[in-house]
Structure 1
Amino acid sequence: MRLLPILLFCLVPYLQAQEAPMEVEGAMTVNVLQARYLYERGAIFIDVRPTREWTWGHIHGALHLDLLDHFNDLAQPQWPRQMPLVIYCDSEVCPHGAHAVKMAVSWGYRQVFYFREGYFAWQLLDFPQGKGLAGERLVFSRPAP
């Protein structure tokens, strides 16, 4: 019985959620209202959450590029580096969005927006959402000459 409080005290740091960084070098951090502004102007939203979370709900029209599965698709040279990308995870306690933003910046994307607040903030304001549709991917084809 005496061991339980000591054990819990030692485990607390490991049980706490990891907070995402406030900003990522080379990208602009945007809040939910700024993200909505970019959404209305046609920026490409990329959801890096696992498929299970994606199917529960996501920003309407966002592309699903799970950080652990398909996010590296963006590294391909055929994607135009001037595309405005808004990359998000679920909230401020999800570091995956920041990691994905760092990768996109390192691949030469020039307009990368880090939506740190993520899907939960979007959902809270009842902005356009979608559900299901697992497997939507970024498809880019160059126009025929």
Structure 2
Amino acid sequence: MRRILVLLLFFVVSPAVVQAAEAPEDVEGAMTVNVFQAKRLHELGAVFIDVRNDREWLWGHVEGAVHFDLASDFINLAAQEWPRQLPLVIYCDSEICPRSAEAARMAVAWGYKQVFYFRSGYFAWQLHDFPQVTGEDRAGATLNAQAH
């Protein structure tokens, strides 16, 4: 009986532990940047890629960012129409969101040469009151970024 309880507890708790996992500090082939370095890259015209889900994107995101939900359409970034020299700043919501690390790893694997892993993400950006918007149309942001 005790063994069954332990197994049941394992299956109930382990999904929560997996979702709350801390993002890695670094991603091989990408440069980890803090919020101030990310702000400077924003000023220089780097393309910010938000890999959060649609609901989080609509709540707010970095001004001018492109939204590619890692779970559904991030694969679009693999298309050859995106120049591989394009500086990409990839972010999620915070250090406890491993999606940005996974996305940065994929971008490096696809041949992007300037991948910046913004580990502290949107919450840090928001905390410093850097340029942000809410509820922006996703298609418009994507088209604007492809014009870079």
TM-score normalised to the size of structure 2? Answer: 0.84
Deviation at residue 68 of structure 1 after TM alignment? 1.2
Distance in structure 2 (CA, Å) of the matches to 1:132 and 1:138? 14
Partner residue in 2 for 1:86: 89
* Contact 1:27 1:101 (C-alpha < 8 Å) held by counterparts: yes
**Richer in helix (by share):** 2
Partner residue in 1 for 2:31: 28
Deviation at residue 70 of structure 1 after TM alignment? 1.4
- Structure 2, unaligned runs of 5 or more: 1-5
Any idea what SS the aligned residue of 1:46 has?
strand
Q: 1:14 to 1:77 in 2, by over 3 A?
A: closer
TM-score normalised to the size of structure 1? Answer: 0.86
Q: Does 1:71 align with 2:85?
A: no
Partner residue in 2 for 1:106: 109
Q: 1:100 to 1:56 in 2, by over 3 A?
A: same
Distance in structure 2 (CA, Å) of the matches to 1:79 and 1:94? 25
Aligned residues: 139
Identical amino acids, percent of aligned pairs: 60
Partner residue in 2 for 1:47: 50
Letter of the 2:69 partner, please give it: D
Deviation at residue 13 of structure 1 after TM alignment? 5.7
Distance in structure 2 (CA, Å) of the matches to 1:135 and 1:59? 12
Point out the more displaced range, 66-75 or 45-54.
Answer: 66-75
